[in-house]
Amino acid sequence: MADLVIVDYGAGNVKSVEFALNRLGVKPILSSDADVVGNAERVIFPGVGNAEFVMNALKGKGLDNAIKSLKVPVLGICLGMQLMCTRTEEGNVEGLAIFDTIVNKFPAKDKIPHMGWNSIKTNGSPIFKGIPEESYFYFVHSYYAECCTNTSSVCDYILPFSASLEKDNFFGCQFHPEKSGEMGERLLNNFLKL
Amino acid sequence: MLSKRIIPCLDIKDGRTVKGTNFLNLRDAGDPVDLADLYAKEGADELVFLDITATHEGRKTFAELVQRIAERINIPFTVGGGISTVDDVQLLLRNGADKVSINSAAVRNPQLIADLAAKFGSQCVVVAIDAKCIDGKWVVHLNGGRIPTELELFAWAKRAQELGAGEILFTSMDHDGVHEGYANETLAELSEMLSIPVIASGGAGNMMDFYDTFTKGKADAALAAGVFHFGEIRIPGLKQFLKDKGIAVRV
């Protein structure tokens, strides 16, 4: 069994996630091979870029089914989390339908992208162990996941939305833990201990 | 609540930090990675590294520096200076930068903004604008403020947004290095006109200047260099000051 695998589908900045894990003493494997991902002990699915491009890249490599079938802890970050939802308004792309919610574009009532440090309210999930209420995390996004039964923390910008999602062995965060200073490191550490 | 961002800016020449006053008189202010690490630990929300090296070797050193920063720093950072092609950006992002700041190249070739936004996403494209008020008109300048253009600040900022810029970093050349406050009236007008975040730059001298640029200047983030590098303002004290005055900041 391979250790921690970062899904590397050829776009997005996987380096930041890799470096963040290195700082925590973990050497991840970067892979776009569905077998490697399928046999991982833990998987991180980062995402930066365009929903349609990333989804097509996943499908082309059979990674969509590989991720969905995982029984080990999986963490989707930003677009990674959004693509684990039912569908996203960005390019009207069907997601992996792990989380029972949809992703919409922010209404233009404030500046978009939602960029910077925003406080969140958590529901006490183990992934937030040791992280005080109203802690700040770093967000950069123009689309948001609606709140649903899988929501494990809420962020309020323009409207309340899912800052993180959780269902069985699947976790997702809209913010970037790899760029969220000490609180982000605590969250990644919690994920590593699940 | 979305917090206002405090962004120390490090000017890099041949791998070292320098700070100019009114874009001149460079002084050495230390090792960039150590300084960046200190700022991150003290609560900086983001960092900006501007490469002001003119030589090819210096540029290579900068790309290597970007990777060293990314390995060590756990907050987002932007890199800029001398970026003129999609390939330049690809290298810097691949080395671990979160965003790139483009300035002169965007003016000379506005399509670059659109190309970068399409390839890497708007969120990583910061368009930096240096402008100087001449006879009541904010004139955009190039090459670190040396060359005036035909462009006017507001029209250019709007165009950059339409082309796909994710943020505007506005430096008032009249205020930069003077330490008497940011160009708040102009910033407020810019911030209200645009639908993307605006970073105020140029003029920070004391803590009240930051408060003013977030309130009067309606800035989403405030960038400063010298006041941080020489320890005149320390970030924890600044953030506490702003928090006590009712500004949303991450402490």
Domain CATH number, residue A178: 3.40.50.880
Considering only the beta carbons, identify the residue of A157, A180, A181 that sits closest to B2: A157
- Kindly determine whether residue A157 and residue B74, on different chains, have CB atoms separated by under 8 Å: no
Residue B130 falls in the annotated catalytic set:
yes
Q: How far apart are the CA of B228 and the nearest CA of chain A, in angstroms? A: 19
Range of the domain at A180: 4-193
Q: How many domains does chain A have?
A: 1
Report which of B155, B187, B171 is spatially closest to residue B81, judged by C-alpha positions.
Answer: B171
pLDDT level of residue B25 (50, 70, 90 thresholds): very low
How distant is the Cα of A157 from the closest Cα of chain B, in angstroms?
7
Q: Could B75 and A49 be called an inter-chain contact, meaning their C-beta atoms sit closer than 8 Å?
A: no
Residue A186 predicted with pLDDT over 90: yes
pLDDT in tens, A69-116: 999 999 999 999 999 999 999 999 999 999 999 999 999 999 999 999
Residues in A 135-164 with any Cβ partner in B closer than 8 A: 136, 138, 140-142, 156-157
User: Which of A10-14, B18-22, B54-58, B95-99 has the largest mean confidence?
Assistant: B95-99
- Please tell me if residue B235 touches chain A, with a CB cutoff of 8 Å: no
Q: Which CATH number fits domain B5-244: 3.30.450.20, 3.20.20.70, 3.30.2020.10, 3.40.50.300?
A: 3.20.20.70
ipTM value of the model?
0.92
